[in-house]
Structures are given as C-alpha cells and as structure tokens.
Amino acid sequence: MDSDRESERLFSLRLSRVMGDIGVNSWVIARRRRTHLQIETIRNVYKVLKDVNDTDYIFGSQSEATTTPGMDSDTDYLFSDNREHVALSWRDWQYGKPNLLVLKDEHTPPQVCYLQRLRSDCPLSVLHPKGPDDVLDEDGRVLLTNTMVQLQDFVQSLSESGEIFRHGPSMTHDKNHDTVHAYHCGQLPDECLFMFHRPRPGHWPRPDTLARARETGVFLVPQGYTESPTKKSRACQITKVTYNRK
C-alpha cells in the first residue's frame, strides 16, 4: 500500500513538471484568465463608446486557461443582445423596450422555449411580423425563429470568401472563433432552479458560488431541436452561464 502511494506521488510530481514545462501552471493560468477578462472589458467599453447595445463575453478554454498554444484552441464568444427584454410571464413585461415572452407547451422539451414578440408601449402581442426572422404561428402569435437571416447576411459580409462557419448555435466568419448570439433573461426559469436543491457531492459548488449564480440569470440561445414539430424550429435553448470575476 505504501509503495502504491509513493508511486502515485512520484507520478504526480513528474506530471506537474511536464505540465509546467508546456505552460500549465498556476501563474500562467491566472495570467491567461486576467488577460481575457481584460480583453472582454475593453471590448465592452468600446461598444459603449460606439453606442452598441450588446455585451460581449469570452468563455470556454481560453478564459478558463484550460488550453495550451499547441492545442490551437479557438476563442468562444457570446454576444448578448440588450435591445430586447425577455419576460418569463406577462407580469414581467417592461415598458419602453421590445419584449420577448418565453412560451412553453407540452411538446417543448426541458430547457427549450419559444419567444413571442410583445409591444413596447403596452402589454399586448405584436400582431404582424417585423422582419425575416419572425413568423406567425397557428394561434396568430408572432414568434422569433432561429434562422437569424439578418445576422447571417452581416456575418457573411465580413467573410472574404463568403463562407460562414457553424458549430451548433455558433455562427462566424472566422474559423478561429466560435460566436454565439443570445438574449439575456435576468430571471431563472423553473428548470434551472434544481441546481440549488440537488445534492452537492464534496460540498461543491460552494454556497457563495450558488448565491452568485442566482443573480446571473440565463442566456437564451437560438438553437432548434430534432423533435421540433416545425421545419424551421422557433425554439430557443436556455443556456446557464456563470462568470467568476475574481
């Protein structure tokens, strides 16, 4: 038993030495995290100065510092559109901004919803489609589709070859980036509340992490699902994302 523990200790030391040689150590990890958080901040300050009403987030392996130069990892961006207010119910409607009402029925799977357009001057439904990404359903509701035609045209205009790279909900003109466009909802849907009541093996996440997670809300990502009853799914997938700003 003692020899096994000693072998594991030696293996751990050698592995740590190898990881340090390729740049995976606590100093580099902390530096990479700070760097990408600073890049994120600079991008958002620039958008404020340019009066662009969305927020950029850098997430994934780059900001988490879980990659090395030899892995050629791409950079993951999430663009949160702040022009629209997402409401979980009619009582959450907000005056003065275009509203998107979260809809679910017995056919939508967990963490999937529809987004219905509401008026900005009074809590009533929009009656007519406003653009190529809108569609009327059988009940006369104007729903937002996941086609994102206008955004696709803009992304394509940035591509020298005219090619668009897609990975799931990501759409970009640069294969070194994965860019997801989403809407932020400041409230947590019911299906996200389980994380605060489920068993926590090893006491993780910590209580302070859970407390911060309650305040972050969720992002609604326009991605369809295979069981969708429509050819062009109008569903948005709820994605829970939290950020550590230490």
Predicted TM-score of the model (pTM): 0.77
If asked whether residues 219 and 152 sit together in one domain, one would say yes
For the chain, the domain total comes to 2
65, pLDDT greater than 70? yes
pLDDT score for 103: 92
pLDDT score for 29: 85
Burial letters 49-58, b for 16+ CB under 10 A, else e: eeeeeebbbb
In 145-230, the DSSP E strands lie at 165-167, 170-172, 177-185, 218-221
pLDDT digits (tens, 9 = 90+) for 142-184: 998 887 887 888 888 888 888 888 877 888 888 888 888 899 9
If asked whether residues 53 and 90 sit together in one domain, one would say no
246, pLDDT greater than 70? no
Under the banding of pLDDT at 50, 70 and 90, the label for residue 194 is confident
If asked whether residues 99 and 157 sit together in one domain, one would say yes
If asked whether residues 49 and 95 sit together in one domain, one would say no
| For residues 230-241, average pLDDT | 56
**What is the number of alpha carbons within 13 Å of residue 145 lying toward its C-beta?**
18
The parent domain of residue 110 ranges over: 85-239
